[in-house]
Amino acid sequence: MKKTTAAITAVGGYVPDFVLSNKVLETMVDTNDEWITTRTGIKERRILKEENAGTSFMAIKAAEDLLEKRGIEASEIDFVLVATATPDMPVAATAAYVASEIGAVNAFAYDLQAACSSFLYGMSTAASYIESGRYKKVLLIGADKMSSIIDYTDRTTCIIFGDGAGAVLFEPNEEGLGLQDEYLRSDGIGRQFLKIDAGGSILPASEETIKNKQHYVYQDGKSVFKFAVSNMADVSALIMERNNLTKEDVHWLAPHQANKRIIDATANRMGLEADKVMMNIDRYGNTTSATLPLLLHDYEKQLKKGDNIIFAAFGGGFTWGSIYLKWAYNS
Ligand code: UT7
């Protein structure tokens, strides 16, 4: 009997309308367009301004975009997985709300949190449910409202992050397309370098923590950069080697969009020319869990059935890894 693989059969995406440019950031903190552009590759990012709207607002839009494009009813979905580091609320899964709002009445739903690797890990989870034969339609959404946890007086973090959401549908495939291999890693040594100190079980929120701005993202950028650069390149090279893929065999690299310099180093290590590297960091910044599905959303029209795509991500925790996937359709 032929092995059932898990293929991506549709994508959707959403970014808020409001654009926060480097020029505007220059008026908010001591920074400049030249520094941000050369150090990160970011020109602008999107910020969700709607009142009382959280991550679910964007996740729902991305899911609705996908459903319309795929032409299926939400009631056909078995499982909704929301990869996010910024759930609507610390308790009450965002995914459950998203599933109900889009009309996925026959699905169960939960969130997955692995910082910037959330979506990558989510691909593994979603694909496993399909490969096992247990479910037929798994909706994986990567969404983050990073602006809700960023201190806009801290120039070391506020220039990096943006808001957005992307969604993919995983379905069974009998042609051997879809997820081929994965190499996922984590190392708790990294949690000191990229974290939010307060609001969790170690340090619950208090007047003191608010005063100290401990509810915002703290990042030791230099240290994270060092780990990210070597680890993302290592796992991408490893997955190529393990699957006997030459640089000619790889059609696309879909890398987490944290810093253009990290992306370039990964592509270099893989021997890939720039035209094989998906990139939208200049327009969206780092949208954490949304970077990978937003890349697919932006590049969907250029992807061909059978294309070999290497996904790679690195994030807080530390968490990182790579996934090798064969694209399953022409659009
Ligand atoms: O997605 C999750 C994982 N996250 C990442 O992968 C992020 C990894 N880290 C990075 O991308 C980079 O480390 C940053 C973009 C965060 C920072 O770039 P960097 O080249 O590592 O800069 P740096 O922290 O070494 O700072 C260099 C200088 C410092 O000044 P001095 O000490 O040399 O005088 C900073 O104070 O740049 C200064 N600086 C800034 N200057 C203008 C820091 N932020 C800014 C800024 N504008 N926004």
Q: Give me the domains of the chain, ranges plus CATH numbers.
A: 5-176 (3.40.47.10), 180-326 (3.40.47.10)
pLDDT in tens, 293-328: 999 999 999 999 999 999 999 999 999 999 999 999
> Catalytic residue numbers?
116, 256, 286
How far away, in angstroms, is 258 Cα from ligand 1 center? 12
Place 69 in a pLDDT band, splitting at 50, 70 and 90: very high
**261 CB within 6 A, ligand 1:** no
- Pocket lining: 165 vs ligand 1, CB cutoff 6 Å: no
Q: Mean of the pLDDT values across residues 179-188?
A: 98
Question: Rounded to 5 degrees, what are φ and ψ at 20?
Answer: -105, 105
Q: Name the residue with tokens 């690195």.
A: 314
Give pLDDT tens digits for 25-47: 999 999 999 999 999 999 999 99
Alpha helices in the chain (DSSP H): 22-26, 33-40, 55-70, 94-102, 118-131, 155-158, 207-211, 221-242, 260-270, 281-284, 291-299
Rounded to the nearest whole angstrom, what is the distance from the C-alpha of residue 200 to the centroid of ligand 1?
26
Q: Ligand 1: which residue has its CA nearest to atom 3? A: 315
Q: What is the mean pLDDT of residues 4-9?
A: 98
Instruction: Report helix, strand or coil for 79.
Output: strand
User: How many C-alpha atoms does 251 have within 13 Å on its Cβ side?
Assistant: 13
